[in-house]
Amino acid sequence: MKKSILSILLLAMFFTISCGKGDKTKVKRIKKNNKNVNTEKIKTEKSNLPDLKDETIIMNEDVFGKIIELKGKSHPMDYIFRVSEIEMLLRGDLLILRTYNNKTPFIIFSLPDFKFVKGLGKFGEGPGEFRFPSFIDIKDNKSLFYIYEGVHEKVYSVDREFKITECNNIFPNSRRRFGGKQISGLSIDDFYYVDRVKGGKAIFHYKKNNGKIFTTLFKHLSFSKKYRSPFAYIGYFAVNSRKKRVVYAYKKFKRIIIINPENSKTRIIKFKKKILPDKKNILGPKNVTYYWGISAHSKYFYLLYSGRTPIQVGREFRTSNSYIFVEQFDWNGNPIRKFRLDHWGYFTVNDKEDMIYLTSVTDDPPFLTYALPPLKKGKK
């Protein structure tokens, strides 16, 4: 499974496609603290969080407290595939991968034994075939999971018998080839999505009611006139409908936004002393990659974090020193914990929020699990 690591990183930066003036908000500064702290007292109600305010919070790197180092447990497997540009999805006792370097775009494994179950879908230009598919972050009782086909702007449902069915009239007016949307929400009839707009990217709200489709621009994602390309604002996106939160984490900036969709109140989280990317070569290997993925759940969301350039990561691989971080936040963006994983790859967290699953780009077999330690008493 050895490969050119730098080539994989560059390919990932190019293909991961995830506008307007920045908000004028109150700025708070979070001072250094050696303890593992939250920035606000968290309410314990199941569905409510403290109200968001329009504000910008500037944090230091040590706001998480001591980084927790985790050692992965490797799992043997009976199926060989190339690890590159992976998305991971957990559904009950199934681990589902989306890949671009396999005979089929989706590979399904059983848990906890990591046994191969089925390859799903077919690459191609024909009916029901895929060129650039991705997962849709929607959980409902209608389907096992949903797929967005970015080249042809189509949405598909996969049932529990692994039958793929096209969902009609999701984006009926799109004239754009390769939209690159990211979709997350309550149901296939009510969701938010990130798309390109003039000058960058924006979040839109899609709602289908009585057969009619309503699409509205919800939030611009650009924040600087220096960066007008949508590639500058590539990031990772999730919605928690129960907690009434929308989150977006930027890949080329260490910056997160948390939004209440009911009133558009927005908390912007920035970290001090971060190097800004070269705008002329935004996806170049000399620019730092900050956030690399998201896994969103009922209590918390988790961000995969690199904090190095692809060149630095490739150099570490050559010396057998691969690692990556996972940052844990509550749904108001308060830092909870930060973990250091002893391998580098693509990740997801289970619904119980006690296990990280990682698909490593350097190991064979590639699957590793990391048990998350319980939160200390008094932490929410």
- Could you say which DSSP state residue 123 is in? B
- Please give the pLDDT value at position 173: 60
Q: Can you give the pLDDT at residue 282? A: 86
Q: Judge if the upstream peptide bond of residue 112 is cis by omega within 30 degrees of 0.
A: yes
For each successive 10 residues of the chain (380 residues), what is the average pLDDT?
44 37 44 39 53 94 95 92 90 95 92 95 89 92 92 91 90 65 93 93 94 92 91 95 96 96 95 82 90 96 96 90 96 97 96 96 92 80
d(CA 40, CA 334): 7
State residue 40's pLDDT score.
42
Nearest to 104 by CA among 127, 123, 85, 117: 123
**Hey, how many other C-beta atoms are within 10 angstroms of the C-beta on 312?**
15
Q: What is the pLDDT of residue 2?
A: 42
DSSP class of residue 172 equals T
| Fold assignment, 5-32+53-371 | Neuraminidase (2.120.10)
The gap from C-alpha 221 to its chain's centroid, in whole angstroms, comes to 16
**Helix or strand run (H / E) with residue 27:** strand 26-29
Domain boundaries in the chain?
A: 5-32+53-371
Closest CA to 369 of 319, 315, 326, 330: 326
DSSP 295-364: EE-SSEEEEEEEEE-HHHHHHHHHTT---EEEEEEETT--EEEEEEESS-EEEEE-TTSSEEEEEESS-S
Of 246, 251, 244, 239, the closest CA to residue 219 belongs to 246
- Please say whether the dihedral angle defined by the alpha carbons of residues 158, 181, 350 and 288, taken in this order, is positive or negative: positive
Q: What is the pLDDT of residue 379?
A: 61
Helix, strand, coil percent content, the chain, rounded in steps of 5: 10, 40, 50
Predicted confidence at residue 31, as pLDDT, reads 45
Q: Is the pTM of this model over 0.95?
A: no
